[in-house]
Amino acid sequence: MKFEDFGLADPIMKALAAKRYENPTPIQQQSIRPLLEGHDLCGIAQTGTGKTAAFALPSLDYLVRNPKARLPVTCRILVLSPTRELAAQIGDSFRDYGRFLNIRVATVFGGVPIHRQIKQVQSGVDVLVATPGRLLDLIDQRAFHLNGVEIFVLDEADQMMDMGFIAPLKRIVKMLPKQRQNLFFSATMPREIADLGAQFLHDPVKVSVTPQATTAERVRQLATFVNQMEKQALLTHVLRDQDIDRALIFTRTKHGADRVVRFLEGAGIAAVAIHGNKSQAQRTAALQAFRQGQVRLLVATDIAARGIDVSGVSHVINFELPNVPEQYVHRIGRTARAGAEGIAISFVADDERAYLKAIERTTKTRCEIVRLPDGFAEMVRNLPKPAQRKRPERPNPRNGEGRPANRSRRRNTENEGQAARRPRRRKSVGAHKNAVKKFNS
């Protein structure tokens, strides 16, 4: 099957040629035609499968074939994403695929000042990509409404649920016009996600690519039993011993991620961390350095890493195992992209053995057990001290970034879900209100 077979509008075909896409990926082959016909869609697909184009191309085609004047403070296509990084990536994809069209795409997410975003959407946009929390902020401030939505895309639904976005999501869905096309994507489809989809999908076409087990089968999975306190020494050893092009190291918590980076720095190994306590600017810089190969180790929490598309990851290291088996599948799916072989190494402490069992049951694969290296006790004794904690940056009230990590009032949840909403600083509330007032007057 070729892109030509879909009959997509010429400017879209031109953009695909510019991107040098030759053939549609399996999820695109299955989704584009039913979406062009106006069906609702329920898709099981992970990032890296080409799912963004699977929903972006037919949505853009719809805009071309149904031209309409932009209405203020609303959009025609609404895409909800659980994380800022994924939202930014989706926004970029829409801009890319729509570069020969006269369309306006806006991306809104928390962690950056709202007034700029209010301005961005003031005169209306064709496509809005948003995280649910920030979208509700805009709506509550009367800076946006959803009456104009014709296509609604919910991406990474399982992650939305994990992050406590269900209540905001339900509020948003209630505000959508009845007549619309719905697209629902999730990397996994456990019962509660399927039930969530059923609440707003009408007779959807069901598509599915890369069943979970296939990813797991392509990755060489190793596990080492090690005390929690000695994992840092093992990590330092593994990073020196293995031939690593680019590795993603997963921790369960944000503080854990920072600690790993400081220990690595202490041992003279460069790494960057990405998680919800970092400012947006820091997260973007860390990702860029990793993507461009300036730094080959990225330490991340699950949610921060979700949806990030970086090619050439040779190793995924589970410094801590996730307690949800599906999360493990997401993690190791970061390597072995596009048919490449990857290696996943898990450090399993005593209290994580049950997690490993559950993972093996879910993936229907067994990890190869690797013994601790010879002389490991010596390595633990000689482990260099962690680098000093960096002084927290002073918050910059002008751009809302550089928030001091140790004074953050956020709970230990990532991103801007309802549960993790931070009380706003007075100054910005005033600024926002003024902006809204000015806009409404």
Task: Identify the residue among 47, 107, 188, 346 touching ligand AMP (CB under 6 A).
Answer: 47
Q: Does 53 bind ligand AMP (CB under 6 A)?
A: yes
| Residue reference for tokens 């928030």 | 403
Which range in 21-29, 111-119, 144-152, 213-221 contacts ligand AMP by CB under 6 A?
A: 21-29
Q: Does 52 bind ligand AMP (CB under 6 A)?
A: yes
CB of 153 to ligand AMP, least distance (A): 12
Which range in 19-27, 114-122, 246-254, 424-432 contacts ligand AMP by CB under 6 A?
A: 19-27
Q: Which of residues 299-318 bind ligand AMP (CB under 6 A)?
A: 309
Nearest-angstrom CA–CA distance, 374 and 388: 30
Residue with Cβ nearer ligand AMP (45 or 114): 45
Q: Does 83 bind ligand AMP (CB under 6 A)?
A: no
CB of 16 to ligand AMP, least distance (A): 8
Which range in 44-52, 153-161, 215-223, 422-430 contacts ligand AMP by CB under 6 A?
A: 44-52
Residue with Cβ nearer ligand AMP (47 or 232): 47
Both tokens of residue 30?
Answer: 């299955």
C-alpha R_g of the chain: 22
Residue with Cβ nearer ligand AMP (45 or 238): 45
Q: Does 360 bind ligand AMP (CB under 6 A)?
A: no
Which range in 20-28, 233-241, 259-267, 380-388 contacts ligand AMP by CB under 6 A?
A: 20-28
Both tokens of residue 149?
Answer: 């939505």
- Measured at the CA of 161, the angle between CA 159 and CA 166, to 5 degrees, comes to 135
Q: Does 146 bind ligand AMP (CB under 6 A)?
A: no
Task: Identify the residue among 6, 9, 12, 24 touching ligand AMP (CB under 6 A).
Answer: 24
Q: Which residues pair with 369 in a beta bridge?
A: 223
How many helices (H) does the chain have, and how many strands (E)?
18, 14
Task: Identify the residue among 29, 30, 31, 49 touching ligand AMP (CB under 6 A).
Answer: 49
CB of 129 to ligand AMP, least distance (A): 13
Which range in 17-25, 125-133, 249-257, 379-387 contacts ligand AMP by CB under 6 A?
A: 17-25
φ, ψ at 383 (rounded to 5°): -60, 125
Cβ contacts of 308 within 8 Å, gap of 6 or more: 47, 85, 86, 89, 287, 334
Nearest CA among 167, 186, 155 for reference residue 79 = 155
Q: Does 215 bind ligand AMP (CB under 6 A)?
A: no
Nearest-angstrom CA–CA distance, 110 and 161: 18
DSSP code, position 51: H
Residue with Cβ nearer ligand AMP (261 or 298): 298
Q: Indicate the length of the chain as a whole number.
A: 441
Which range in 49-57, 137-145, 313-321, 428-436 contacts ligand AMP by CB under 6 A?
A: 49-57
Both tokens of residue 127?
Answer: 């496509």
DSSP, collapsed to helix, strand or coil, labels residue 18 as helix
Q: Does 105 bind ligand AMP (CB under 6 A)?
A: no
Report yes or no: 50 and 72 within 8 Å, Cβ to Cβ: no
Nearest CA among 252, 265, 268, 266 for reference residue 318 = 252
Q: Does 400 bind ligand AMP (CB under 6 A)?
A: no
Report yes or no: 44 and 189 within 8 Å, Cβ to Cβ: yes
Which range in 24-32, 218-226, 255-263, 273-281 contacts ligand AMP by CB under 6 A?
A: 24-32
Q: Does 333 bind ligand AMP (CB under 6 A)?
A: no
Helix axes 325-332, 353-363, angle to 10 degrees: 70
Nearest-angstrom CA–CA distance, 232 and 281: 28
Task: Identify the residue among 12, 30, 35, 51 touching ligand AMP (CB under 6 A).
Answer: 51
Number of residues that bind ligand AMP (CB under 6 A): 12
Q: Does 261 bind ligand AMP (CB under 6 A)?
A: no
Q: Does 254 bind ligand AMP (CB under 6 A)?
A: no
Residue with Cβ nearer ligand AMP (25 or 251): 25
Q: Are strands 272-274 and 368-369 parallel, antiparallel or unpaired?
A: unpaired
Q: Are strands 205-208 and 219-225 parallel, antiparallel or unpaired?
A: unpaired
Residues that bind ligand AMP (CB under 6 A): 21, 24-25, 28, 47-53, 309
